[in-house]
């Protein structure tokens, strides 16, 4: 097991940011998104911390949800030009993933996409510090970063141990301003991470129980949170659940591939084609994928249903999962996000082009068609 990220969790943990940044030097590249941190005051708190320890700061704002490689390359060029010592990424998964990609691109002369395309194997990275503002992806404590390339029409995840943040600051109050919608997508995403681990190969009873525990946190505390977006305790429970769901430790030990990830591959194609929020693609794709798998792995699906929803068949499990996502306000069919049957060919093409499959549950083109039938 390996996880080098130092996680600072709780109210006002930001007060430790200045000290953490000072460990690495005094030239900072600050990366953030479309402006939420300017509205909710987080930007000011971060800048105060950096100023208090005498940092010189260069900024790259405007990282978009479902981030693109052009932004990564532009921010890396800025960081390279000013020889920065450390990157501070303040935002959700899109910003922190971009920060990770920037951290391995600065020491490299080409595009960061070369890493995703397998043409560049980083041997060094600029240290990254994350300040998380949205509970969902687990990126704050893992070595993954997902980026889009619209020129090649790909959305790919990369993994490198150099991309673990050195420090991550998680103040649940920083997520108060996340909309109801995005809070729900975050819950769907953390649940999907548990399920990707669960559906991998490998008889790992304790890892299964960790999966069930994290899923239960989501099922119990997710719905009340949506009615009380400023409830610190509920925000904290969901934030910790999201970190635990994908930090490459508890849910993945004893699995052969560190997760199946077939459903994420489907979700990435939907985000790429229609710019859908990541969590919304998963609340549609997971039930559809499970319907395909119901006859192949009925016992595995039923075991999940028994432990999470107290039901006994694969069919009931899938219905319960769909009803739960629906209760959160997440879409469970493509038509709910404005995608009708006439888009089927386009999605199929995207799936073929991106070679959508799982690490364990391999998917064929015939499988794609059935999944899409279920999803439409």
Residue 144 binds which of Zn ion, ligand NZQ, none (CB < 5-8 A, kind-dependent): ligand NZQ
Residue 223 binds which of Zn ion, ligand NZQ, none (CB < 5-8 A, kind-dependent): none
In the complex, the smallest distance separating the C-beta of residue 188 from Zn ion, rounded to whole angstroms, is 9
C-alpha angle 144-149-152 in degrees, rounded to nearest 5: 130
Between 24 and 261, name the residue whose CB sits nearer to Zn ion.
261
In the complex, the smallest distance separating the C-beta of residue 345 from Zn ion, rounded to whole angstroms, is 26
Q: Which of residues 259-278 bind Zn ion (CB under 5 A)?
A: none
Cα dihedral 339/341/345/349 (nearest 10): 40
In the complex, the smallest distance separating the C-beta of residue 312 from ligand NZQ, rounded to whole angstroms, is 30
Between 263 and 273, name the residue whose CB sits nearer to Zn ion.
263
Residue 261 binds which of Zn ion, ligand NZQ, none (CB < 5-8 A, kind-dependent): none
Q: Does 189 bind Zn ion (CB under 5 A)?
A: yes
Q: List CB contacts of 262: < 8 A, sequence separation 6 or more.
A: 196, 199, 289, 356, 357, 358, 359, 361, 363
Contact 95/81 with Cβ under 8 angstroms? no
Between 210 and 261, name the residue whose CB sits nearer to ligand NZQ.
261
Residue 33 binds which of Zn ion, ligand NZQ, none (CB < 5-8 A, kind-dependent): ligand NZQ
Q: Does 85 bind Zn ion (CB under 5 A)?
A: no
- What single DSSP character describes residue 331? -
Write out the residues near ligand NZQ by the rule CB under 6 A. 33-37, 40, 65-67, 91-95, 97, 133-134, 136-139, 142, 144-146, 174-175, 177-178, 182, 186, 189, 246, 264, 278-279
Q: CB 24: neighbour CB atoms within 10 A?
A: 19
- Dist. CA 220–CA 285, nearest whole Å: 22
Residue count, binding to Zn ion (CB under 5 A): 1
Contact 66/98 with Cβ under 8 angstroms? no
Q: Are strands 128-132 and 144-149 parallel, antiparallel or unpaired?
A: unpaired
Contact 263/285 with Cβ under 8 angstroms? yes
Residue 134 binds which of Zn ion, ligand NZQ, none (CB < 5-8 A, kind-dependent): ligand NZQ
Residue 92 binds which of ligand NZQ, Zn ion, none (CB < 5-8 A, kind-dependent): ligand NZQ
- Dist. CA 86–CA 83, nearest whole Å: 9
**Contact footprint for Zn ion (CB under 5 A):** 189
């Amino acid at each position: 097991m390996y996880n080098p990220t130092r996680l600072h969790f709780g109210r006002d943990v930001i007060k430790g940011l200045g000290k953490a940044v000072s460990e690495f030097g005094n030239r900072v590249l600050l990366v953030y998104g479309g402006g939420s941190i300017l509205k909710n005051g987080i930007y000011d708190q971060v800048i105060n911390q950096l100023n208090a320890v005498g940092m010189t700061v260069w900024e790259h704002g405007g990282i978009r949800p479902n981030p693109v490689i052009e932004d990564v390359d532009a921010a890396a060029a800025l960081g390279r030009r000013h020889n920065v010592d450390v990157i501070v990424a303040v935002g959700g998964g899109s910003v922190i993933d971009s920060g990770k990609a920037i951290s391995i691109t600065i020491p490299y002369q080409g595009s960061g996409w070369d890493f995703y395309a397998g043409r560049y194997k980083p041997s060094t990275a600029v240290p990254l510090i994350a300040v998380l503002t949205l509970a969902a992806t687990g990126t704050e404590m893992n070595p993954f970063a997902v980026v889009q390339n619209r020129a090649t029409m790909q959305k790919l995840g990369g993994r490198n141990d150099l991309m673990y943040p050195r420090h991550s600051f998680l103040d649940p109050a920083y997520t108060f301003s996340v909309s109801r919608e995005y809070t729900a997508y975050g819950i769907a995403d953390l649940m999907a991470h548990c399920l990707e681990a669960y559906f991998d190969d490998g008889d790992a009873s304790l890892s299964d129980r960790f999966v069930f525990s994290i899923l239960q946190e989501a099922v119990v505390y997710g719905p009340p949170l949506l009615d009380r977006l400023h409830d610190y305790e509920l925000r904290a429970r969901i934030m910790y659940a999201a970190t635990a769901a994908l930090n490459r430790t508890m849910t993945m030990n004893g699995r052969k591939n560190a997760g199946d990830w077939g459903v994420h591959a489907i979700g990435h194609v939907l985000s790429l084609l229609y710019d859908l929020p990541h969590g919304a693609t998963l609340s549609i794709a997971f039930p559809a994928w499970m319907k395909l798998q119901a006859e192949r792995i009925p016992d595995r699906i039923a075991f999940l249903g028994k432990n999470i929803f107290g039901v006994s068949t694969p069919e009931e499990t899938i219905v319960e999962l769909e009803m739960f996502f629906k209760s959160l306000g997440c879409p469970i069919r493509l038509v709910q996000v404005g995608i009708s049957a006439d888009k089927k060919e386009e999605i199929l093409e995207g799936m073929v082009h991106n070679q959508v499959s799982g690490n364990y549950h391999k998917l064929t083109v015939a499988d794609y068609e059935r999944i899409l039938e279920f999803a439409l």
